[in-house]
């Protein structure tokens, strides 16, 4: 789309209403989609961050929406009244993305925000604990691939896995919070680089590799400048790419803490199971095998596998009866989750959703389904209903 056809979001802000579905797609300055038409603006912070990013929409489409709304009002109607809905649990996950965006921008600007970061970390921890299976679903099967926001969604997804791992290992709430804070801020110095590399078809350049190797120290330095003085927090950020055999970076030290080790594991695992523009996500089962081999069966690797299961919420699976479904809840064992069916026994998509207990022989999982056309985008509301 030419620059002339772009309407800056600030010029059509009156067409965007908090709690209402968007009437158009929203893109960032580089043309990357930030929000799809139909998604709901969940708060003032999100709108402010969209404007901060130089967001724009299709000018012709915006003009059409304006004419339609003006005509409806002239006829005595309110075109927005029927579309408003109260925020759901899934909307609150979206809200966290933009609150994180706002705070990491403060970190980059050197503005004091340590207390705000910690408060956000506690909100994220609370959101995960509200429903861990839904948190895992949002992590494994995001409803929209938004590469411009990769750094933000990756941070939240890593935080989710960190909490699930910490719970499995019986770590305290304060230890879980520390992991959340580390996950949210470990890559603050390479936010835009991560977004760029998510759509980059080529391997990292030499300069990009240098920046990546330096980012743990650079992120810690930014956090310190923003007022973070928690030694443990800064340490796990600095060490989250170090390895016990000394082959990590940036220092190549083998003397790392268990918390730093856990943060590295969830960071790497989350990156593997996240799609890029030019490569699909690594299947969960393959990522689990790689994790176990790379970690040589360490307690942290074993804890991760036990925590999420071999088929975690959000994973597509094939059942013995021929149905394809998406995992909704973890089960009594790593291989027997509760699955929401998406097709009939012939593999044809259906409108309704039935829950299957895969511990029952007739609904046993025969394997992962992979990414099937027409099934990849599964709205969480279909699986869980409208959760407030």
Predicted local confidence at residue 73, as pLDDT: 83
pTM of the model: 0.94
Q: Would the pLDDT of 81 be above 70?
A: no
Higher pLDDT, 355 or 71: 355
Band of residue 85 on the pLDDT scale cut at 50, 70, 90? low
Options 2.60.40.10, 3.30.420.40, 1.10.3210.10, 3.40.50.720; CATH of 89-308: 1.10.3210.10
Q: Would the pLDDT of 314 be above 70?
A: yes
Domain-by-domain residue ranges, the chain?
Answer: 3-83, 89-308, 316-384
Burial of 347 (0-12, 13-18, 19+ CB in 10 A): middle
Order of strands, edge to edge, in the sheet holding 56-58?
A: 6-8, 56-58, 26-27, 33-35
pLDDT tens digits, residue range 208-249?
Answer: 999 999 999 999 999 999 999 999 999 999 999 999 899 999
Band of residue 359 on the pLDDT scale cut at 50, 70, 90? very high
Q: Would the pLDDT of 82 be above 60?
A: no
Distance, CA of 380 to CA of 138 (rounded, Å): 8
């Amino acid at each position: 789309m030419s620059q002339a056809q772009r309407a800056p979001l600030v010029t059509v802000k009156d067409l965007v209403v908090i709690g209402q579905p968007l009437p158009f797609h929203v893109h960032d300055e580089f043309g990357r989609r930030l929000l799809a038409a139909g998604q709901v603006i969940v708060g003032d912070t999100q709108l402010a961050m969209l404007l901060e990013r130089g967001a724009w929409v299709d000018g012709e489409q915006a003009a059409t929406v304006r004419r339609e709304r003006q005509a409806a009002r002239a006829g005595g109607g309110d075109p927005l009244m029927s579309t408003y809905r109260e925020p759901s649990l899934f909307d609150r996950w979206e809200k966290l993305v933009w609150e994180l965006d706002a705070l990491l921008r403060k970190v980059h600007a050197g503005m004091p925000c340590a207390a705000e970061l910690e408060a956000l970390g506690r909100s994220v921890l609370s959101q995960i604990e509200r429903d861990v299976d839904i948190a895992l679903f949002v992590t494994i099967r995001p409803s929209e691939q938004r590469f411009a926001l990769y750094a933000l969604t990756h941070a939240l997804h890593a935080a989710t896995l960190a909490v699930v791992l910490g719970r499995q290992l019986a770590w305290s709430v304060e230890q879980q919070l520390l992991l959340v804070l580390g996950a949210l801020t470990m890559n603050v110095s390479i936010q835009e680089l991560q977004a760029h590399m998510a759509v980059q078809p080529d391997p990292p350049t030499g300069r990009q590799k240098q920046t990546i190797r330096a980012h743990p120290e650079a992120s810690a330095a930014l956090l310190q400048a923003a007022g973070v003085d928690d030694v443990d927090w800064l340490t796990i950020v600095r060490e989250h790419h170090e390895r016990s055999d000394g082959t990590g970076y940036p220092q190549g030290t083998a003397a790392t803490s268990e918390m730093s080790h856990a943060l590295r594991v969830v960071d790497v695992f989350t990156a593997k199971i996240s799609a890029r523009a030019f490569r699909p996500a690594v299947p969960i089962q393959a990522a689990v095998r790689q994790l176990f081999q790379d970690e040589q069966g360490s307690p942290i690797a074993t804890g991760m596998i036990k925590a999420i299961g071999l088929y975690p919420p959000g994973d597509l699976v094939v059942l013995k009866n021929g149905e394809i479904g998406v995992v909704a809840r973890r089960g009594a064992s790593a291989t027997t989750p509760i699955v929401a069916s998406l097709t009939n026994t012939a593999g044809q998509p259906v409108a309704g959703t039935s829950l299957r207990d895969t511990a029952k022989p007739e609904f046993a999982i025969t394997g992962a389904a992979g990414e099937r056309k027409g099934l990849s985008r599964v709205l969480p509301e279909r699986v869980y209903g409208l959760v407030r």
